[in-house]
Amino acid sequence: MKVDGAILVENPLEAGPAAQRLESVGYAGGFTFEGRHDPFLPLTVAAQQTERLELITAIAIAFARNPMVLANIGWDMQLLSGGRFILGLGTQIRPHIQRRFSMEWSKPAARMKEMVEAIRAIWDCWQSGARLNFEGEFYTHTLMTPVFTPEPSPHGVPPIFLAAVGPKMTETVGEVADGFFVHPFHTTEYIQSVTLPHLERGLKKAERRREDLEIACQLIVASGSNDEEIEAAKNGARAQISFYGSTPAYRPVLDSIGRGDLQEELNFMSKKGQWLEMAGRIDDDLLEQIAIVGYRGEVADKVRARCGGFADRVSLIAPFAPDANQWADIVEALNTGG
């Protein structure tokens, strides 16, 4: 099982040393996400200071950009990294797309499917010389002249991973993506009853096999060497879970374990800015149904028990992320099966 770690930096220049630490410990990949900073710039630095580490956006917000912009960035990241880049995309939610990015929101699953198809059409034009003639419902790309056409890449084109929570988007992942990010806000019940069946439906629709898709399971981890460390980590995990749980689109995850009513309460509290109080609404039972909680020596076994039956790789997400070297034993155990 591959293990990916976060590259969390306040300055892109710090991404090189951070990625080197992940590589030296044995992580397969290092990922950024679109939060306070751009997700691509740190990876350009990391690409120049690592040799084996896969470099992943997990995720970049697709609808804040267009297919041509993403095709350009993905192409150059693949060149810069020597073929180690994974373009990971997600939708975000309507308020962020419309009010934070001032972009259009409509039919997110259909739009994402077309986004991936358009990016691949552009890459095919550049790589094989095919005429660019993509016309869809949301995106049209029919102009490409030699001055804007890069030379074919010796590394091929990067894989595209998509994040999904709801049934429609999960089905879209099965249809068109090379990989699937399982959102960290999930339960075993939701994975078994919603995620995997709809993923399989998408694969069948496109006449694809499970082997055609790499599943990356993102996991919130609250771990420590003693009770005090674990309690501090649990508090951080509670805050992250309450934030996710306040989102209306994620209510079905809570519904899967009979806790759907909590979503409305958390949403109401979020609008009042009661972030600390929200974390207090995540009891131990709910915490352990979503997060991996335990002593350090227990984490690898709990990760395998949670997602070993379906995941090809895992991302360990801690709200207060420890240094990569401090998790070396867990990474080794997951890499070796020990």
CATH superfamily of the 2-227+308-336 domain: Luciferase-like domain (3.20.20.30)
Structure tokens at 92: 């975000």
The answer to pTM > 0.75 is yes
| Cα–Cα distance for residue pair 152/144, rounded to 1 Å | 14
Angle between helical axes of 108-128 and 67-81 (0-180°, round to 10): 50
Tens-place pLDDT, residues 196-234: 999 999 999 999 999 999 999 999 999 988 999 999 999
Cβ–Cβ < 8 Å for 222, 230: yes
- Please tell me the distance from the alpha carbon of residue 179 to that of residue 88, in angstroms, as a whole number: 8
Convert the pLDDT of each residue in 106-143 to its tens digit: 999 999 999 999 999 999 999 999 999 999 999 999 99
Structure-token pair, residue 193:
């009853």
Q: What is the DSSP string of 134-197?
A: EE-SS-EE----GGG-PPPPTT-PPPEEEEE-SHHHHHHHHHH-SEEEE-SS--HHHIIIIIHH
Q: Pick from 285, 297, 287, 282: which is nearest to 224 by CA?
A: 297
What pLDDT band is residue 1 in, cutting at 50, 70 and 90? Answer: confident
Give the pLDDT confidence score for residue 336 in this predicted structure. Answer: 82
Report the SS3 class of residue 289: helix
- Residue that is written with structure tokens 């649990």 in the block: 234
Alpha-carbon distance 101 to 105, whole Å?
Answer: 10
pLDDT in tens, 170-192: 999 999 999 999 999 999 999 99
